[in-house]
Amino acid sequence: MTTLRLTRRHCLQAAGVFAAALALGPRSLSAQTAARTVKLGVGLKSLNASVINLLIGEALGYNAAEGFTVKGMAVGGNANVQVAVDRGDVDIGIGVPSYALPILAKGEWGEAINFYQYTYPYKWDVAVKPGAAIKAYTDLKGKNIGVSDFGGTEYPVTRNVLKNMGIDPDRDVKWTAVGSGVPAGVALQRGAIDALAYYDTGFGLIEGAGIPFDILTRPTGLPMIGGQFLMALRDRVKNERALMVGFGRAAAKSSAFLLANPTAGAKAFLKLYPETAPRGSSEEEAVKAVLVAISRRVKLYQAPYDGYKFGQINPDEFTTEMALNGMEAKDLSRFYTNDLIADINAFDVAAIKAQAMAYNG
């Protein structure tokens, strides 16, 4: 049985992987040269629509309005993002608590801080072949569960869900890494695994490939864990506050835009990253593929908590996840901040919605 234990030392050892990672930059649609290029580290092997609300501000003018242009860098894994942020190789990275909280609990947390929650819980599910005997999470005991890889967020999160139900994720199930996207769906379709644990946009890619599957009904009392965040070095957040606020505001505007008109958002994304379209597809087919991929994700751009603004962080998510894993951190103040949220949300949401509805690509 393969298990994953991540320490800060492991993160630093991943630096060699980061050095060889794929870095993709968008094709800028504006003739205007922004004052600053912001390097965004993403824990993917290649950029895709799962981070659409962090990228389309380039096409919509939101980044230029804040004085920057973004360079999305797919560095291959969440541990690599942590390394890149700690070393200053990227300006901003996507923070994933399932990897960061164990480091915090050991007292080994570095100089990064999460300042904006760009997608909220809960985005993971378990799928089975249509007509399978597995009908509920309780039926997963003794089964072989596929994940994209053991560095993917679905692995620790699904382990926590099973543990919360009284199923030992080490003894009661088998875990198999089956690859990302369509290969994961093929593994399920061919019976190489009994079930597939994955996240929303991943299932969208499988659905877009025409591979059928059934999603198991989520158990009651699902822990609200697994949000994803923007993080940067504390000194950068302090000394380059305007830039960090600007990046967060561009992400918030892009989120509002997508919530108002996902089709327009898909068109903007494809203008930036046409290489992500299915090979040989028409524009209409390419837009549809993006929409299928993001349909579950877009609704998670808004917090599931009353009165929360775009990007506002609920620390209860951290304490809940730590409790599930027998961990504790007495002080979260070095791990997250909401100090930028009010300034990030200083924009006219109605105007962004109107722009979205009028957008023609």
Give the domain ranges of the chain. Answer: 8-121+226-358, 124-215
Same fold, 8-121+226-358 and 124-215: yes
Which segment of 111-115, 150-154, 160-164, 288-292 scores lowest on mean pLDDT?
Answer: 150-154
Q: Quick one: pLDDT at residue 221?
A: 80
pLDDT at residue 266 above 50? yes
Q: Quick one: pLDDT at residue 225?
A: 86
pLDDT at residue 354 above 90? yes
pLDDT at residue 38 above 60? yes
How many whole angstroms separate alpha carbon 297 and alpha carbon 303? Answer: 12
pLDDT at residue 15 above 50? no
pLDDT at residue 14 above 60? no
Identify the burial level of 93 via C-beta atoms within 10 angstroms of its C-beta, where 0-12 means exposed, 13-18 middle and 19 or more buried. Answer: buried
Decide: 126 and 195 in contact? Cβ < 8 Å.
Answer: yes
Mean pLDDT of 27-52: 77
Q: Quick one: pLDDT at residue 256?
A: 98
Report the percentage of the chain scoring pLDDT > 90: 73
pLDDT at residue 40 above 80? yes
Instruction: Determine the CATH number of domain 8-121+226-358.
Output: 3.40.190.10
Q: Quick one: pLDDT at residue 16?
A: 39
Q: What is the mean pLDDT of the chain?
A: 89
Confidence class for position 98, pLDDT limits 50, 70, 90: confident
pLDDT at residue 357 above 60? yes
Q: Quick one: pLDDT at residue 200?
A: 87
Q: Quick one: pLDDT at residue 21?
A: 36
pLDDT at residue 32 above 80? no
pLDDT at residue 312 above 90? yes
The pLDDT tens digits of the residues spanning 191-250 come to: 999 999 998 888 988 998 899 999 999 998 888 888 999 999 999 999 999 999 999 999
Decide: 193 and 178 in contact? Cβ < 8 Å.
Answer: yes
| Fold annotation for 124-215 | D-Maltodextrin-Binding Protein; domain 2 (3.40.190)
Confidence class for position 35, pLDDT limits 50, 70, 90: low
The pLDDT tens digits of the residues spanning 136-160 come to: 999 999 999 999 988 777 898 899 8
Which segment of 136-140, 154-158, 253-257, 335-339 scores lowest on mean pLDDT?
Answer: 154-158
pLDDT at residue 176 above 90? yes
